[in-house]
Amino acid sequence: MCYVKQMINKVFIKKLKKDYTDSSNERRQIISLANVVLHDSKRIIFALHRGDIKKAEESFKEIEKILEKLDKKFGHKRVYQEGSYKAGVEEYVEAKMFYNILTGKKVDKIQGVELTYESYLGGICDATGELVRRAVNEAAQGNIKIAEEIKEIISDVLGELVEFDMTGYLRTKYDQARGNLRKIEQINYEIKIRK
């Protein structure tokens, strides 16, 4: 009896190849656009540090169009399978939260974009680092009151985040945010000593 002819279902293999090729094509498209989101979010943060709110707002609109396009084309679950997408949206959340704080808005849900709790928590933790950077720049220019206000904001954020029992990757992000709180406390301490 000959088993070889019965061993491979060519239709099944052809379907596997098609699925694999389709997935690879999707992956390349998601990665390409996610990299744009990541880099543009970094540019927004840089613009915010320079005080260019208008440029940041224009860039947010472009990023949100990309996120909407990806979600519509591939679906929320599919895009979140790609690490580059997760990194891009986390940077976007960081930029958005930093923007919200600088413009007097709340750290809150971003309307019109579907994000996971991981993206929010990671982005919020990272935004504390940008706030410390802002405080240092403000203090260097003699704006001591702003540095004190930023310390209070970071303290409030950490007061909420401490309620989460974060593990793994998010625990690392939380620990970095706690480190940012220590930095801003040290900065404020040094400012008060110099007064």
CB count in 10 Å sphere of residue 89:
30
Return mean pLDDT, the chain. 93
* CATH architecture group of domain 116-195: Up-down Bundle (1.20)
Mean pLDDT, residues 160-164: 94
The answer to whether residue 124 scores a pLDDT higher than 80 is: yes
Measured between alpha carbons, how far is 143 from 30 in angstroms, rounded to an integer?
Answer: 42
Query: Which tens digits make up the pLDDT trace of 60-115?
Result: 999 999 999 999 999 999 999 999 999 999 999 999 999 999 999 999 999 989 99
Domain spans of the chain, in order of start: 10-105, 116-195
What pTM value is reported for the model?
Answer: 0.90
Residue 7's pLDDT band, with cuts at 50, 70 and 90, is: confident
In this prediction, residue 10 carries a pLDDT of: 86
Same topology between domain 10-105 and domain 116-195: yes
Whether domain 10-105 has CATH 1.20.58.2140: the reply is yes
Residue 2's pLDDT band, with cuts at 50, 70 and 90, is: low
In this prediction, residue 36 carries a pLDDT of: 97
Q: Which of 44, 30, 40 is nearest to 72 (CA)?
A: 30
The answer to whether residue 9 scores a pLDDT higher than 90 is: no
Mean pLDDT, residues 5-27: 88
| Single-letter amino acid, residue 81 | Q
104 CB-near residues (< 8 Å, 6+ apart): none
Structure tokens at 13: 């293999």
DSSP string, 17-80: HHHHHHHHHHHHHHHHHHHHHHHHHHHHHHHHHTT-HHHHHHHHHHHHHHHHHHHHHH-HHHHT
Measured between alpha carbons, how far is 121 from 176 in angstroms, rounded to an integer?
Answer: 12
In this prediction, residue 8 carries a pLDDT of: 82
In this prediction, residue 3 carries a pLDDT of: 58
In this prediction, residue 1 carries a pLDDT of: 54
